[in-house]
Amino acid sequence: DAGITQSPRHKVTETGTPVTLRCHQTENHRYMYWYRQDPGHGLRLIHYSYGVKDTDKGEVSDGYSVSRSKTEDFLLTLESATSSQTSVYFCAISEAGGGYEQYFGPGTRLTVT
Amino acid sequence: QKEVEQNSGPLSVPEGAIASLNCTYSDRGSQSFFWYRQYSGKSPELIMFIYSNGDKEDGRFTAQLNKASQYVSLLIRDSQPSDSATYLCAVNAGGTSYGKLTFGQGTILTVHP
């Protein structure tokens, strides 16, 4: 987890409230990713970024938005949280895209009640 | 058909034995292959990556890739109780500039003393 932090690490929120998760890196890597991990579904890509202000959707992007105003920060926002968004969220970084390896942050456990 | 499939497990081996973890993938254009280890409640940790057919060794770990058979495996020699974890296979399909990884469901490995 060196060089990648996520905040908060745990959060409980109510259905319908907005939630923002933060990923911060000190590696100056260009690519950043948000995944969610759920039993039976494994790790699934939500959104990714290939540079400041450059973002795109992954396979499970509905209900989520992202922003990247600085190289080191990548924010994930749940616009109106639902119980189906209860999950563990991981941020990952990569020096370059393509086939380069990705390194994961410590994760955020989000519970939507 | 799942894009990345791993042997379902759980896999139990005695200490000192060789643990063999297997993964098949459906996209014949896949270029890069990764093995992550994930301890319970922790984030995925990269342990091996392989790009070319054949074997790649790193300490007690050997990754094997056979692109013709669309098969990648991870061998852990002299297994230790500390190797007990979930092992995730991840594949990067060719032609994606942002490095989208598709993960398998994971195989739970238990090494018993």
From the CB of residue B71, how many other CB atoms can be counted at a distance below 10 Å? 14
Model confidence over A76-90: pLDDT tens digits? Answer: 999 999 999 999 999
- For chain B, the straight-line distance linking the first and the last C-alpha, in angstroms and rounded, comes to 37
Across the interface, whether the CB atoms of B104 and A42 are under 8 A apart is answered yes
Contact assignment for A101 to B106 by CB distance below 8 Å: no
B17-56, pLDDT tens digit by residue?
999 999 999 988 888 999 999 999 999 999 999 999 999 9
> Can you give the pLDDT at residue A95?
87
Q: Distances from the Cα of B39 to the Cαs of A54, B3, B28, B81, B84, in angstroms? A: 32, 24, 30, 12, 8
Structure confidence at residue A11 (pLDDT): 98
Q: What is the pLDDT of residue B1?
A: 57
Q: What is the pLDDT of residues A17-41, one digit of tens each?
A: 999 999 999 999 999 999 999 988 8
Report the gap between the CA of B76 and the closest CA in chain A (Å).
20
Of A45, A56, A105, the CB nearest to B43: A105
Report whether pLDDT(B97) > 80. Answer: no
Q: Which two tokens stand for residue A2?
A: 């060196």
**Closest to B27 (Cα-Cα) out of B74, B84, B94:** B94
Degrees (nearest 5) of the Cα angle B59, A99, B89?
A: 55
Q: Position of tokens 């895209």?
A: A97
Q: Name the amino acid, one letter, at A92.
A: A
Which of A21, A20, A70 is closest to A49 using CA atoms?
A70
Separation CA B62–CA B85 (nearest Å) = 17
Q: Spell out which residues of chain B touch residue A5, defining contact as CB-CB under 8 Å.
A: none
CA–CA distance, A110 with B82 (Å, rounded to integer): 28
